[in-house]
Amino acid sequence: MREAIARLLDASGVENATFASAEAVLAGGAQEDAACVVSDLRLPAMSGFELLAELRARGGGPPLILITAHDAPGQREEAARLGAVAYLVKPFRAKELLDAINATRGPVPRH
C-alpha cells in the first residue's frame, strides 16, 4: 500500500517520502519537514494512533491522515480526538486521499 500511495502522489505531482514504520517516521524527522503524514492505523510495532499521539507530544507535528482496512466502532472518533485530519477506510478512492492531502495545505491563494 505504501508503494501504491507513493506512485499516486508522484503521478499527482506531490512530493513524498516513504517510511517502513512509525519509528522510522519519528527517527527521520518527518515531524519537522512534512506538510502532512499519511499513516496506516495498523503498523508493525507502534500503531497509527500511537504515532499521532507521539507527534503531538513532540510539539504538534504535521497534519496526519489515518488509513485502515480494519475499521471498528469508535476508531474514527478516536482518530478525531487525537487530532487526525482525515480517517479513510480501505479501499478508498485516490481522489479521497488527494483531497485530504490538499485540505492540509490550506486555501489556494487567488491572484
The pLDDT of 5-29, averaged and rounded, is 91
Residue 42 and residue 49: Cα distance in Å, rounded?
A: 9
Asked whether 72 and 87 are in contact (CB, 8 A), the reply is no
pLDDT score of 110: 45
* Cβ neighbours for 50, distance < 8 A, ≥ 6 positions apart: 22
Alpha helices in 18-93 (DSSP H): 22-27, 30-33, 48-57, 75-82
Query: Against a cut of 0.95, is the pTM above it?
Result: no
In order of their start, the domains of the chain are 2-104 (3.40.50.2300)
**pLDDT digit string (tens) for 53-76?**
999 898 878 999 999 999 999 999
